[in-house]
A = this chain, B = another copy of it.
Amino acid sequence: MEVRRGDGSVFRGVLMPKHETSHPDTVVIKLGNGYNIGVLVGEGDDIVVKGSLRPGTPGALVPLLEEPLQPAEERVYIIGAGGTIASRVDYETGAVKPYLDASELATTIPELQRYASIEAEQLFSILSEDMKPSMWEAIVDRAARVLEAGYDGVVVAHGTDTMAFTASALSFAFHKGLPSPVILTGSQRSSDRPSSDAAFNLTASVLAASRAPFAEVAVVMHGETGDTYALAHRGVRVKKMHSSRRDAFQSVNDKPLARIYPFEGRVEMLRDDYRRRGESGLEVDNGFEERVALVKHFPGLISEVIDALLDRGFKGIVVEGTGFGHVSSDAIKSIERARDQGVPIVITTQTVFGRVNLNVYSTGRKMLAAGAIPAGDMTSEAAYAKLSWILARTRELEVVRKMFQRNLAGEVSERHILRLYRHIGGV
């Protein structure tokens, strides 16, 4: 829309919902630069309406289009899997609930058509914290059928909270063969809020799905606080590192795949070692075991936690140990008990960065002797999804160990690159 004021000034952008407390004669407009302004509209001013103007429209990325877009030739399919990107505020309770469906999302962001013609469907409508391994399977199935139908790429709109788990799960299910990108994206603010990052992330994701040279499972989210670029993180390497910032997602112990510039339509690769688009056919290996737990060491009774999970019949346990991956000495008997019951215990580290090494200290050596499986520099999210994927294929402990220690989807490196770590805290 445009506001043409009597003094000759013109404000152009997308109409946004406004706070109940604002002046009744103002309109809130999201400008092309991403900022929202409130414009007081007087008697001598004109409001010119163009295009879709429903309140709740996610913020547009580019100044309002004068001409209808010529849709790009590429075809991208958006699978809605819930989360904030498809949520809006419930004005009765004030809380955010799942609401928009994927096709509504797509039609309210006409800029997506710059990079692909879009089809969309809502697979399910849940909040991120309710994601389960059985839903990973449903997403894999749907994405596989889409890729079989010849689409250039898939975008999964997903809650951000558990996105790293789902991205890892999809990476393992597709690691044997994937011809095109499968991009997970979401937003940190719901689509009907002026500050929503939904449009930016979705546009960057459609661009990556339609044109990026990599054929991998990746998470595409804001790469910095501004609206310059998104980062494409390898699905098995990504972690949500902040509860609310737009640039919450980071690659852990590894470099991201690419920078994605949604305004410029440009994909800048940051590494060479990726699976190329069209390099392999589609080979899906779907299926996840749900009875896997993820717990962490603490200075107390971690042995009792492991014992309790064994009592309840969990089939695999990932333990975030301390530092190099240690648990207390009195928990070694619980690791032995797990081995005797045929339950694999995988060890990651709660430091987030760095790697598990059970060969340095005496405790680690005892843990190895008791049967613990070290996860190297894998994230806890990737280790959890990997163990769940393996346990749906075999429960033979030695086979689990061998499969776990094989690098399937880039989730682990032999050598740790120390410089991929910087101080984030305060100074």
Contacts and interface: CB of A to CB of B under 8 A. Distances in A.
Interface of A: 90, 93, 95-97, 127-133, 136, 160-162, 165-166, 223-224, 231, 233, 239-245, 247-248, 250-256, 259, 270, 290-301, 304-305, 308-309, 311-312, 314, 320-330, 349, 351-357, 359-365, 384, 388, 416, 418, 420-427
Contacts of A355: 243-244
Contact of A326 (B90, B128, B356): B128
Contacts of A90: 362
Contacts of A360: 95-96
Given A256-B427, A427-B255, A365 B95 contact: yes
A367 to B, nearest CB: 10
Contacts of A96: 360-362
Nearest to A87: B361
17 contacts: A93-B365, A127-B329, A129-B297, A133-B300, A233-B425, A240-B322, A241-B353, A243-B323, A243-B351, A244-B324, A245-B354, A250-B425, A251-B425, A255-B427, A301-B314, A353-B424, A421-B424
B290 A300 contact: yes
Q: At the interface, is chain A mostly helix, strand, loop or mixed?
A: loop
Contacts of A330: 130
A251 B426 CA distance: 7
B423 A250 contact: yes
Nearest to A422: B424
A391 B423 CA distance: 34
B231 A323 contact: no
A251 to B, nearest CB: 4
B95 A244 contact: no
Closest 9 CB pairs of A and B: A243-B354, A161-B322, A250-B425, A161-B323, A255-B426, A129-B326, A308-B308, A294-B298, A251-B425
A322 B321 CA distance: 19
Nearest to A252: B425
Given A295-B296, A426-B256, A427-B270, A243 B349 contact: yes
A328 B130 contact: yes
In this complex, which of A136, A233, A243, A311 has the most chain B Cβ atoms within 10 angstroms of its Cβ?
A243
B299 A293 contact: no
A132 B424 contact: no
Contacts of A329: 127, 129-130
A287 to B, nearest CB: 15
A238 to B, nearest CB: 9
A90 B248 CA distance: 42
Contacts of A93: 362, 365
A328 B131 CA distance: 8
B427 A298 contact: no
B247 A423 contact: yes
Contact of A323 (B160, B354, B425): B160
A191 to B, nearest CB: 14
